[in-house]
Structure 1
């Protein structure tokens, strides 16, 4: 899924140029292999296996519109080392702990390809393009011969895409962000009223103006909530939204997104982001830490989104696929439906009392 608006903000959160060490790993090291390069190499290796009729038969039976582990097609056991190396490289490229999960997966580009695959049409294998605006992509025929295909229309020939398991990556990545930002946060006691505290509940959410190319897999949406903690320091909290899959669809999560006992002022902002597969969570955590270091408590609330924009050099104001939208100045008393700043997101919120047991 691809959601487009206010793209400049995203660059503040996906700063790739620094090599500051976080937990013993450098962002530069995590960037030594790109997601596209890793998945392209795995696509070539898998295409080489498709000359084997047993592998082709397995693929035909699977017809995986829903993603499956790449190992499902390694029926001869010849790709084990290649797959293990790709998974290790993917974890590093996404800034995730080594050995945390297997992230490589494969899927058919479109449900319309299932019949052709089952009728024996020769399949191609490709890495999923990270660029939603790509005009062409490279696919590999059985044996590994490269072909260039346009993205404008869905091919009649089945295309098997090697992709990243973004659901797993997002879950692990948000834990990385929470851990790293917490390490750089001064200790501040949570302000808890007797018997509980107030939170903001997200009762519905909807995004529009979504460009979802046929070749892209599902994206994972998450939110960065920003405000000032009880010490007066800027802080962020990460909220996973794994249910958010489709455009022009209203979801009713009843999810708690802001916990007001953590904040000094009666105002907070929410920035919605997505992982299309190429998000590096270690760099994202690093960017948040760097941006928040510029912010000081002036005795009055200042929007976190604006402050980050002002802190970022103009050279970083470029198109980025990972920003969705931002909602400014949500308060503890907010009980309404509002459109976010980029007019892509519409959210309904209400106060929610979290009582003690």
Structure 2
């Protein structure tokens, strides 16, 4: 399903004017945000295609087989005194404000070549097309709309990779998700839930980009100073997803996890967020050795883990509120949680899964899978998720104090 915006409207929408245009689209729910996001990317794709001759040198300086993308605000016009970069910065700012992540990222919109195999033909002079990801469920897409350098519209197959160079105007999914998780954490903390983000180690991080100090590493240092005793954790040692065929334009998957349970010191929900930037593609096995559960934070030595995929329609603050409210609702319904013990944790997780697709996200495909009742000090080898979409191994790891 294409965005509900006509080509004539796109042509009339300048980059500078997009922010005021976006305000006229209802963005209080996921559908409004997704459509507004797609409309902005459509506008940018059309305008960059129209100015390709002016931007070609800048693109060729920055896009290579090893670096398929560049931020749109790094594109430089060959014309002197051009205000193009400034317009791109304003467009990026408007996008970040719309998604509620402006306080957690300086830039997220980018332009990327759809596949590295396209680079050679493009470098040898073949003119590219410029595309964007439509809004809505990809099962409803009839084609991918793209523009050539003459302003003509092309309809590309949804699942078959094009045989011509295609640039995709999109957000940097990893950067947006990271900022989104930080926005969720901040909102949850406002609601009284002490959420932490479990980040990957530096060895898993993208070494091509400067790394900001992770919130998790700060928590580790604080915990190490105040609690010298060994720390019980569970690591994700192996994971593989068997997702159905995805559209080529979507690029890498952006997967994260929500760990749910009950606070170790009070009868309140405990919800932590897990970054998983390495989990790019389905049908491929990854060995992250990532710490996903810190057991001193969880009651009864039990927790669940929901796997989710980043979606363009996500309102991160709204999602944070929904998670907390769903978990609190279940706990309030149980007169004496201590009697049921960890049996109430799947009830919390089930409630969260029930409300997420209808409440915040555009379609159910963003739910990937769920692991119920992961126990402390218990290894799991090649354990399928409840939905059969993920197979993962978990190992208990005790981290000893530094001597």
Output the TM-score relative to the length of structure 1.
Answer: 0.81
1:221 aligns with 2:255: yes
Q: Structure 2 CA distance, aligned partners of 1:216 and 1:158?
A: 16
2:162 counterpart SS class? coil
Q: For each residue in 1:206-228, what CA deviation from the matched residue of structure 2 results, as whole angstroms up to 9, or x when unmatched?
A: 11234232222212211100001
Number of aligned residues: 328
TM-superposed deviation, 1:193: 7.9
1:290 aligns with 2:325: yes
1:141 aligns with 2:143: no
1:195 aligns with 2:200: no
Q: Structure 1 CA distance, aligned partners of 2:395 and 2:44?
A: 47
1:330 aligns with 2:377: no
Residue of structure 1 in register with 2:218 after alignment: none
Q: Structure 2 CA distance, aligned partners of 1:311 and 1:37?
A: 27
1:280 aligns with 2:315: yes
2:365 counterpart SS class? coil
Sort the Cα spacing of 1:214 and 1:144 in 2 relative to 1 into closer, same or farther, 3 A: same
Q: Structure 2 CA distance, aligned partners of 1:313 and 1:277?
A: 13
The answer as to whether partners of 1:95 and 1:283 remain within 8 angstroms in 2 is: no
Q: Structure 2 CA distance, aligned partners of 1:197 and 1:293?
A: 27
The answer for unaligned runs of 5 or more in structure 2 is 1-25, 196-222
Sort the Cα spacing of 1:187 and 1:238 in 2 relative to 1 into closer, same or farther, 3 A: closer
Greater length-normalized contact order (CA 8 Å, ≥ 6 residues apart): 1
1:209 aligns with 2:243: yes
Structure with a larger share of its residues in helix: 2
Q: Structure 1 CA distance, aligned partners of 2:194 and 2:245?
A: 42
The answer as to whether partners of 2:327 and 2:349 remain within 8 angstroms in 1 is: no
The answer as to whether partners of 1:70 and 1:105 remain within 8 angstroms in 2 is: yes
The answer for unaligned runs of 5 or more in structure 1 is 1-25
Residue of structure 2 in register with 1:167 after alignment: 174
Sort the Cα spacing of 1:272 and 1:141 in 2 relative to 1 into closer, same or farther, 3 A: same
1:235 counterpart SS class? strand
Among candidates 307, 328, 352, match of residue 308 of structure 1: 352
TM-superposed deviation, 1:325: 0.8
Output the TM-score relative to the length of structure 2.
Answer: 0.72
TM-superposed deviation, 1:282: 2.0
Sort the Cα spacing of 1:290 and 1:270 in 2 relative to 1 into closer, same or farther, 3 A: same
- The range that moved more, 95-104 or 232-241, is 95-104
Within 5 Å, give how 1:29-40 maps onto structure 2. 34-40=36-42
Residue of structure 2 in register with 1:343 after alignment: 388
- The range that moved more, 232-241 or 246-255, is 246-255
The answer as to whether partners of 2:49 and 2:151 remain within 8 angstroms in 1 is: yes
Q: Structure 2 CA distance, aligned partners of 1:67 and 1:327?
A: 34
2:236 counterpart SS class? strand
